[in-house]
Amino acid sequence: MHCPICNSQFEQHETVAMPFCSDRCRQIDIGRWLEEGYSLPRIADPEDDEEPDDDTLRN
Amino acid sequence: MSNEESSQKKKANAEYGQSDLEHLSDLEHVRERPSMYIGDTSNRGLHHLVYEVVDNSIDEAMANYATEVRVFINPDGSVTVEDDGRGIPVEKHNQLSEQMDRDVSTLEGVMTVLKFGGKFSKGAYQTSGGLHGVGVTVVNFLSEWCEVEVCRDGHVYHQEYERGIPKGDVRRVGTSDRRGTKSTFKPDPQIFSVTKFVYSTLAKRLQELAFLNRGVKISITDMRTDEADTFQYEQGIQEFVVWLNRASEAVHQEVLYVEGESEGVTVEIALQYSGEYTENVHSYVNNITTTEGGTHLSGFRTALTRSLNAYGKKQNLFKDLVPSGDDVREGLTAVISVRVPHPQFEGQTKTKLGNSEVEGIVNSLFGDYLSKFLEENPKTAKQMILKVILAAEARESARKARQLIRERKGALAGGGLPGKLRDCSSKDVDKCELYLVEGDSAGGSAEGGRLREYQAILPLRGKIINAYKSREDKVLANEEVRSMISAVGIGIGEDQDLSKRRYGRIVIMTDADVDGSHIRTLLLTFFYRQMYELIAQGHVYVAQPPLFRVRKGKEVNYVQTDEEMKTQLLELGLSDCVFDAGNGELVEGERMEKLCRTLAAMEESIVALERRGISLKAHAVRQDPATLELPIFHVFLGINEHWFNNRAALEAFVEEQEKATGKEVQLDGGTTPPEEVAETNGHIAPRLRIVELHEVRTINTLLKDLSQLGFEIDSLIPEDRTGLEGSRYMLRRGENETGLDDLRGLPAAIRAAGEKGLQITRFKGLGEMNAEELRETTLDPVNRTLLQVRMEDAGSADELFRVLMGDNVEPRREFIQKHALDVKNLDV
């Protein structure tokens, strides 16, 4: 497994903080959630605003 | 004791005058209060004796007179320390001889007079270790017996002592071409509570001394067990740092090292960050461990924090968090070794350096070095700064998490659940469900449609932020995260307690579009990371709201996916359609069904091909008439393009090229056609680009099926026809006829036929469904479908999240483009 925070490799039985390598990394993660540090891109691609399947459906 | 010896001793005593009494009182003083000189008389003090003797030899080595120090633990429990230095002077010492009123060798003075050592005469050694000059005299005083052998000027000199008293003068016992001093002593059991030397204790300190005095070879041999080690480090404390980090992952490859001198104080510092969370700093003054630190350490720390912070700020590497001294020390492995002419030791155990001038010297020397290093090594500098930022973030996160837990405890005491939560009335946890609903309007519908007794609704909204100039990002607002934590009830991180859960099922309900799938990914990642147990025990589900409402008269049905909708329409259309293949041949029944399914399956692949700018018409020209296959590989080499139907043909081509040019063909690694034709340069062979048209594999398979049904590829391409002979193909359904120019339009025509009499609504979001619809399709356990989230699902959500979150712009952009068209691939 790779820790989502520090990217170090570890085995599941070696950690007390699944899916992190350590409680410390887990804490960093909660910190990031709380300060809205995790964001996903909104798709700006114009094709998404349409319904991609609508036209093929009604052809 | 023999008579001769006895009389000799008597004689010696008789010759002792007033000054001898003083020296005798030295001996008595040391033996009465040994702890004042060596700390204690247990294990630590015992081993300290060896270090005192070794220190003298190391001084010789550091002054470049000796190359090697050898330590032996002898079978009888005594210890021998030997070096190849100049040897302690043996000639008559005038001052001492005068005092004692007899001829006294310098060697005897060194062995029997406190504070006699060469270290105190200016210039003999610049700085030296040893316990402030008490050195070998104290070792002699505290030994049951001691003997010293000096090889000097071609002769060997020898003297023996018993509990510090010489058993005769220094005697010349022979010749030798060797040089050096060899001391053997057996600690006095009258003084020490333990007298057994521990090999590993000695070896550890000797190794440390070898690190601190680079180049000096120190060996230890345990004659009792034959255990032996030799330590020698040309890189000194740099190698010490590497050795200290041997079991850790280094954050950066290079060990930073600086050496300098100012006002007679020499400073040596080596450091490297490791992935550990603790500090591992060893500081020394004149080879003595300063466990309590002192001015050299504080000078180092101040400079480290100041230089790193100055660099990080200048390079704009800190966002809003400025690392503290503690953050800078996390994962730091460092060795600080200073040599100070007149060290002052303070503190409980006298292991804290007190010289105030040292602080400024270390501070400016190390600060200058580090600032310069960071400027000149931006890669290493960044790795160091990132490590420090992570430490700062960890500290800040820990504080926030503690605060959150405190707040939650306070909130729970006051019964405070999130204001937006519409809780259920039942307290039967296993039957209760929490729906996390995307958007307020959907939340409203869900609240109206829920089964009030068992279903709770928590509406969540993605918050839009401006992440970069041209991009908007969606985050889960702080408030939403807190609401979720409170509502679910099991806590987070270390404090997770599954038994405190307030619901048996947590159901994620989001829109069936890309945004919805992103919010679902965010939520699943959050649960996976912070409420791992909830997922591990199978408490998390994903709702499956319908995408279509299909109304036929008074009958209403719901369809969940595009694919399913298409299939349903095709089946409805097929039931009463007849296809006229143009030549009077009618296709119906089973053959018609097969034809439609083949065409429908091909539809997507042909669209994919056309999206590459390759029309089916153009590609059909390249069909192999025997196998009916279309080329799968589009190959660019210089200004030429080539097409190959399979890998074997491609490989044959590559081989041919290699034969022709005599060189191995180089691939340029691109997967899309080159933007422009590479300049052909006569000297450099053009590189090969292979574009694989994956979708053609599907098309090829289906073309064979199509052929068996009696149609070839040209049936898929409109014919160039003149005149008005009417349509090439005809689809008949009752009285209705639809003309078709090619077969590709057939599935769509059949679906359109199937749609007759139906009223189909595509829901653009959950919010478009009214409360009743939502209840009927998604909330009511009788009709709904829930997907239970398994560990793998959550894990792949996390993977996806990492790609989407990642710094790596290219895979991220690629991923988004690829999946933007295909929402179902984002489903987890």
How many Å apart are CA B534 and CA B531, to the nearest integer?
5
CB pairs under 8 A between A and B: 151
Q: Does residue B770 belong to any structural domain of this protein? A: no
Locate the chain B residue with the closest alpha carbon to A56: B748
Residue indicated by tokens 């101040």: B302
Q: Does residue B590 belong to any structural domain of this protein? A: no
Q: Does residue B641 belong to any structural domain of this protein? A: no
Q: Does residue B617 belong to any structural domain of this protein? A: no
Domain enclosing residue B262, as ranges = 235-399
Question: Which range has the worst mean pLDDT, B199-203, B423-427, B620-624, B682-686?
Answer: B682-686
Stretch B383-395: mean pLDDT, rounded?
A: 89
% of chain B surpassing 70 pLDDT: 88
Residue B304, pLDDT above cutoff 80: yes
Nearest to B610 by CA among B529, B701, B716, B514: B716
Question: Which range has the worst mean pLDDT, A13-17, B583-587, B598-602?
Answer: B583-587
pLDDT for the residue B98: 85
Compare CB distances from B529 to A19, A36, A57 and report the shortest one's residue. Answer: A19
pLDDT for the residue B765: 82
Q: Which of B473, B513, B755, B827 is catalytic?
A: B513
Stretch B84-111: mean pLDDT, rounded?
A: 87
The set of residues, in sequence order, having a beta carbon less than 8 Å from that of B440 and lying 6+ positions away, is: B459, B461
The tens digit of pLDDT for each residue in B442-456 reads: 888 899 999 999 999
Q: Does residue B782 belong to any structural domain of this protein? A: no
pLDDT for the residue B159: 93
User: Are B384 and B251 a contacting pair, CB within 8 Å?
Assistant: yes
Show the tokens assigned to B489: 């009830």
Q: Which of B77-81, B488-492, B600-604 is modeled with the greatest confidence?
A: B77-81
User: Are B90 and B170 a contacting pair, CB within 8 Å?
Assistant: yes
The pTM score is 0.60
User: Are B225 and B74 a contacting pair, CB within 8 Å?
Assistant: no
pLDDT for the residue A52: 36
Domain boundary among B479, B514, B534: B534
Domain boundary among B484, B505, B534: B534
Same domain, yes or no, for B255 and B272? yes
Q: Does residue B31 belong to any structural domain of this protein? A: yes
Same domain, yes or no, for B185 and B294? no
Same domain, yes or no, for B224 and B281? no
% of chain B surpassing 90 pLDDT: 39
Stretch B542-560: mean pLDDT, rounded?
A: 89
pLDDT for the residue A43: 57
Q: Does residue B766 belong to any structural domain of this protein? A: no
Q: Does residue B11 belong to any structural domain of this protein? A: no
Same domain, yes or no, for B435 and B350? no
Confidence label for B124 from pLDDT (cuts 50, 70 and 90): very low
How far B605 CA lies from chain A's nearest CA (Å)?
A: 13
How many Å apart are CA B808 and CA B802, to the nearest integer?
10
Taking CB atoms and an 8 Å limit, are A36 and B475 in contact across chains? yes
The tens digit of pLDDT for each residue in B505-533 reads: 999 998 877 778 888 888 999 999 999 99
pLDDT for the residue B821: 40
Same domain, yes or no, for B336 and B394? yes
* Helix (H/G/I), strand (E/B), else coil: B249: coil
Q: Can you give the CATH number for the domain in which B175 is found?
A: 3.30.565.10
The tens digit of pLDDT for each residue in B326-344 reads: 899 989 999 999 999 888 9
Same domain, yes or no, for B390 and B256? yes
Question: Which range has the worst mean pLDDT, B213-217, B470-474, B599-603?
Answer: B470-474
Same domain, yes or no, for B264 and B372? yes
Helix (H), strand (E) counts: chain B: 26, 33
How far B550 CA lies from chain A's nearest CA (Å)?
A: 14
Same domain, yes or no, for B32 and B175? yes
Helix, strand, coil percentages for chain B (3-state, nearest 5):
45, 20, 35
Confidence label for B126 from pLDDT (cuts 50, 70 and 90): very low
pLDDT for the residue B823: 37
Question: Which residues of chain A neighbour B801 with C-beta distances below 8 Å?
Answer: 38, 40
pLDDT for the residue B79: 96
Please say whether the dihedral angle defined by the alpha carbons of residues B772, B773, B778 and B780, taken in this order, is positive or negative.
positive
How many Å apart are CA B80 and CA B221, to the nearest integer?
10
Residue B468, pLDDT above cutoff 70: no
Same domain, yes or no, for B120 and B49? yes
How many Å apart are CA B58 and CA B63, to the nearest integer?
8
Stretch B43-67: mean pLDDT, rounded?
A: 89
How many Å apart are CA B801 and CA B518, to the nearest integer?
9
Q: Can you give the CATH number for the domain in which B493 is found?
A: 3.40.50.670
Same domain, yes or no, for B318 and B376? yes
Query: pLDDT: is B668 or B466 the higher one?
Result: B668
Same domain, yes or no, for B85 and B208? yes
Compare CB distances from B397 to A19, A30, A56 and report the shortest one's residue. Answer: A30
Domain boundary among B502, B534, B566: B534
The tens digit of pLDDT for each residue in B691-738 reads: 889 889 999 999 999 999 888 998 898 877 665 567 788 888 877 888
Question: Which residues of chain A neighbour B803 with C-beta distances below 8 Å?
Answer: none
pLDDT for the residue B222: 94
Query: pLDDT: is B133 or B259 the higher one?
Result: B259
Query: pLDDT: is B243 or B475 the higher one?
Result: B243
Count: domains in chain B: 4
Same domain, yes or no, for B52 and B165? yes
How many Å apart are CA B73 and CA B222, to the nearest integer?
5
Confidence label for B471 from pLDDT (cuts 50, 70 and 90): low
DSSP H or E stretch at residue B187 = strand B180-187
